[in-house]
Amino acid sequence: MKKFFNRKFVTAIAVITILAFGIAGCGDSSGVTSDSKLQADKEVRLLYVQWACASATTHIAADIMENYMGYKVETMDVAAAAMYQGLASKEADAIFCSWLPLTHGDYMKQLGDQLEDLGPNMEGAKIGLVVPEYVTIDSIEEMNSVKDNFKGQIIGIDPGAGIMQASENALTDYDLDYELVEGSEGTMIMSLKEAIADEKWIAVTGWT
């Protein structure tokens, strides 16, 4: 996953990673230096989607910026498309959960020339279709043969998420006769938990 910012904001944000790893050694209980207090009149808006990874990284960054850099930070959860559009239009200053180069690649094709890429905050992330361990198939190719076990559904998240487009592509590529059910990360996780509790078959859009 990568961090993206509109161009006016790059210098200030570039130090967040350093601060994140150095907080434990800071002696000032307030965390705000005299230099960072000069930033106190500046307001920053961070956009994120209601995914666990996006919420966590965004709010960690917000805490660092408020307590160690002296910014006033507003966080706002939006749809994936609105996250990129808000950043490109300078209605927001930064996002911290951009899945590249593939999952959010379409957004970057449209808006990437208006954004500044400061590199990944995590590498090696994967997406795919996920089933509980007790499900007895091991590949997407086998899913049509056990369609009834899954009730002909793959439980997804919000429609603007890149993983949903990737799953739609998988339906076509593997000729799967399934419905991709839209929802949210929360509803997907709840469906998965309920299915596992009863050892029912379920397939969901998942990531690591």
How confident is the model over 103-132, as pLDDT tens digits?
666 777 776 677 777 777 667 778 899 999
At residue 100, the pLDDT reads 65
At residue 51, the pLDDT reads 82
Residue 4 near residue 87, CB atoms below 8 Å: yes
Domain limits of the chain? 2-120, 127-207
DSSP string computed for 144-198: GGGGGGGTTEEE---TTSHHHHHHHHHHHHTT---EEE---HHHHHHHHHHHHHT
At residue 195, the pLDDT reads 98
Residue 188 near residue 204, CB atoms below 8 Å: yes
C-alpha 119/C-alpha 141 separation (Å) is 35
Fold exhibited by the domain 127-207? D-Maltodextrin-Binding Protein; domain 2 (3.40.190)
Q: Which numeric CATH code is attached to 2-120?
A: 3.10.105.10
Phi and psi (nearest 5°) for 60?
A: -65, -45
Q: Could you give the percent of the chain with pLDDT greater than 90?
A: 41
- 165-200 pLDDT per residue, tens: 889 999 999 999 999 999 998 999 999 999 999 999
Q: pTM for the whole thing?
A: 0.62
Tokens for 193? Answer: 């938990």
